[in-house]
Amino acid sequence: MISQIAGKISRITEETVTINLNGLYHELMIPSGIYTSLREIKADDREVMLYTINYIEAGDRKSYHYPKLIGFTEQLDKEFFQLFTTVSGLGYKKGLKSLTLPIREIATAIENKDAATLSRLPGIGRRLADKVIAELSGKMARFALSKTEQPLTAARREKADLFNEALEVLVQLQYRPVEAEKMIERAIKTDPRIDTTEKLISLIFKQEAKVQEGAAT
């Protein structure tokens, strides 16, 4: 079991980070709230230490199973997430998307049996909020004492940030800046609700594929 991993960041998105550990490249899922700090570490070419959770994800066939890693910059965040996701119906992927409040506020809501606050978290309706309280109340006091102010999951990204990050990706792929800007603007116009760079690049890919398909006919 891998409990910690340290190395240089070779690639990072809002959902994953790839760590170069002596020539072995490990891809980890990350909570989007730590993306900015990891991006700064990559820009400075510094080494990063992540505290990890291992799990097995079932594929689309019963015989296919894939080992996965989730990384956190703080041990306390890892421990909170491990406990939080023990609630049935609250898997790792849903858990990563739901933590849009600081862990101390979520922990306090659980300890205070405040289902209204919990039900406002993405993917956590009233029924699941009640289940979280029933299973975790009395176990969250130390997390409620955390002084961390930042949530593990970032709020909806600003369009300017998405535009600049997508532009950087496309330029790295050898597109001219003017060409890339037009592609990004067309994608955002198609789906103004898009909120991650990964989704934006995926939409651009689909739109470009349609353009090429039309040109070929």
Local confidence pLDDT in tens for the 217 residues of the chain: 889 999 999 999 888 999 999 899 999 999 989 988 999 999 999 999 999 999 888 766 666 778 899 999 999 999 999 999 999 989 898 999 899 999 999 999 999 999 999 998 988 989 999 999 999 999 999 999 998 888 998 765 556 677 888 888 899 899 998 899 899 988 988 887 787 888 899 999 999 888 887 776 6
User: CATH says 159-216 is which class?
Assistant: mainly alpha
Furthest CA-CA distance within the chain: 64
Q: Please tell me the number of Cα atoms within 13 Å of 83 on its side-chain side.
A: 19
Domain boundaries, the chain: 1-73, 75-155, 159-216
| CATH of segment(s) 75-155 | 1.10.150.20
SS3 state at 23 = coil
156: its two tokens: 């909806």
CATH 3.10.129.10 given to domain 1-73: no
The phi-psi region of residue 171 (left if phi > 0; otherwise alpha if psi is between -120 and 50; otherwise beta) is: alpha
Taking the model in full, what pTM does it have?
Answer: 0.71
> Rounded distance, CA 103 to CA 83, Å?
12
